[in-house]
Copies of this chain bind each other. A is one copy, B any other.
Amino acid sequence: MTSAPTSPLTDPWPKSPVLQTAYRARAAAADLAPLPRAAKDDALLAMADALEVRTKEILEANAVDVERAREAGTSEAIVDRLTLTPERVRAIASDVRDVVALPDPVGEVVRGSTLPNGIDLRQVRVPLGVVGIIYEARPNVTVDAAALCLKSGNAVLLRGSSSAYQSNTALVKVLRDAVGGAGLPADAVQLVPGESRESVTELMRARGLVDVLIPRGGASLIRTVVEESTVPVIETGTGNCHVYVDAQTDLDMAVEILVNSKAQRPSVCNAAETLLVHQDIAPEFLPRALDALAEAGVTVHADERVLAAAEQLEGSKATVVPAVMDDWETEYLSYDIAAAVVDSLDAAVAHIRLWSSGHTEAIVTTSQAAARRFTQLVDSTTVAVNASTRFTDGGQFGFGAEIGISTQKLHARGPMGLPELTSTKYIVTGDGHTR
């Protein structure tokens, strides 16, 4: 015979520091869920202020990480991503203030009706609960993720790269003090303790404690999380994006969109990685495209037909190499692009279905029928018609912020803003209704 327990936490308290963190996050999430927007916005403003006031201790911690990275022979590009400066901290604080201005998704009535029996049915947005973010380098993600999760009423568990451990520890300390000072549970923002791989594994296995894991980083990180996690995962980011130039097209527009999609910022997931050209337009388009890509410093990994076209060009500066099978599925993230001539729009679609990571594909066409067929048949998060692949972005889409770009079909697809950090619940209100 037992009385009903009244503590929402397990007995005994778990020994694992990772699971302790997760239990604390659950308790904080329960407190956060019913909070009105004003309480959350006050905490966000306190976070932004604290980042500016305590910049010195953040930079000191960051300097330790940077020095360690240099000693380990890390590339300057990665050291630069890791490095914080007073200006960068100010920019991070400013991003937090931008989140304050966004509407609160919690409480939104998604659907509502009165049922035939008189019951009032409402489906309302609620926080997911505990959100785990596993990410690499870039300490700004620590603050971004904390701000977006707090605004949407979620407790966040942050598991950054061990190379940024000191920076993240300092940032989270500042954020927790600010959240606690604003009267909210400091455990709404926590760093997952430990720098070992085991702490990641524990996090991935904390099903029932953690509601969702969002990995942000390279393909191998994401694959590991997807394969090993029992916690539901939102897969993000791999972008093998295609630009298809249709038989009927505006050649100037096609060249501009191609170059912009590939070269405006090649290191990001919405940059184009493969060019497909309809055979009817190839003789006109390819010479111009190859020159423009050469101008932008892009190497073309060409199939037989693109290669043949390149060989006929006299005096071109184009760098063209033969494509191998791997090129069709490679996300270069560099000044490289694969290129092939296809027999038809449907062949382009078949190529995309086979090789694309399902992120973003663009068609450049003057034909309404082609635009319609391409958008119907291509199954990616985003299909662009006469626009650069580079627009697939939470900021560009007007979401105001982005926690990542989902490339899976479940829960969220494409750029994820605040509503994508929520679930829903149904509220059924009757006057004693029974069945």
Residues in A lying within 8 Å of B, measured CB to CB: 1-8, 30, 33-34, 113, 115-116, 119, 121, 123, 126, 128-129, 207, 211-212, 226-227, 230, 232-234, 250, 252-253, 256-257, 260-261, 264, 276, 303-305, 307, 322-325, 328, 340, 342-343, 347, 350-351, 353-354, 371, 375-377, 379-388, 390-392, 396-398, 408-411, 413-415, 423-435
A376 touches B430 (CB 8 A): no
Nearest-neighbour CB distance to chain B for A154, whole angstroms, equals 10
Given contacts A7-B350, A8-B350, A256-B434, contact A425 B379 (CB under 8 A): yes
Besides the known contacts A211-B409, A212-B410, 4 further A-B residue pairs in the complex with CB atoms under 8 A apart: A4-B342, A7-B354, A264-B435, A410-B411
Is there contact, CB below 8 Å, between A115 and B398?
A: yes
Query: Is A4 within 8 A of B232, CB to CB?
Result: no
Q: Which residue of B lies closest to A123 (CB)?
A: B414
| Docked-complex contact B354 and A384, CB < 8 angstroms | no
Report which of B227, B391, B396, B426 forms a contact with A392, defined as CB distance below 8 A: B426
CA distance A398 to B113 in the complex (A): 9
Contact of A432 with B354 in the complex, beta carbons under 8 Å: no
Report the bound CA distance from A427 to B250 in whole Å. 20
A435 to B, closest residue via Cβ:
B390
Contact among B323, B411, B428 with A387 in the assembled complex (CB-CB below 8 Å): B428
Q: Which of B324, B396, B423 contacts A1 (CB 8 A)?
A: B324
Q: Is there contact, CB below 8 Å, between A426 and B414? A: yes
Minimal Cβ-Cβ distance residue in B for A205: B227
CA–CA, A387 to B433, complex, Å?
5
Q: A379-B425, A387-B430, A425-B414 are in contact. Are A409 and B354 (CB under 8 A)?
A: no
A212 / chain B contacts, CB cutoff of 8 Å: 409-410
- Give, as a whole number of angstroms, the nearest-CB distance from A391 to chain B: 5
Which are the 4 A-B pairs with shortest beta-carbon distances?
A: A387-B430, A260-B434, A409-B423, A1-B322
Known: A3-B304, A6-B351, A377-B34. A433 touches B397 (CB 8 A): no
Interface contact B409-A379, CB-CB below 8 Å: no
A429 touches which one: B8, B386, B410 (CB < 8 A)? B386
A226 CB contact (under 8 Å) in B230, B261, B343, B377: B230
Q: Shortest beta-carbon distance, A331 to chain B, in Å?
A: 16
A425 to B2, CA, bound (A): 52
Contacting residue for A425 out of B387, B408, B413, CB 8 A: B413
- B250 in contact with A1 (CB, 8 Å): no
| Residues of the B chain whose Cβ atoms lie less than 8 Å from the Cβ of A411 | 410-411
Q: Which residues of B contact A347 (CB under 8 A)?
A: 6
State how many angstroms separate the Cβ of A35 from the closest Cβ of chain B.
10
Provide the residues of chain B in CB contact with A383, threshold 8 Å.
425-428
Closest to A340 in B: B4
Closest residue on chain B to residue A388 by CB atoms: B434
CB-nearest residue of chain B relative to A2?
A: B325
Verify A430–B385 contact, CB threshold 8 A.
yes
Contact between chains at A432 and B387 (CB < 8 Å): yes
In the complex the two chains form, is B430's CB within 8 Å of A232's CB? no
Whole-angstrom distance between the Cβ of A153 and the nearest chain B Cβ? 11
Q: Are A433 and B388 in contact (CB under 8 A)?
A: yes
Cβ–Cβ contact A427 & B385, under 8 A = yes
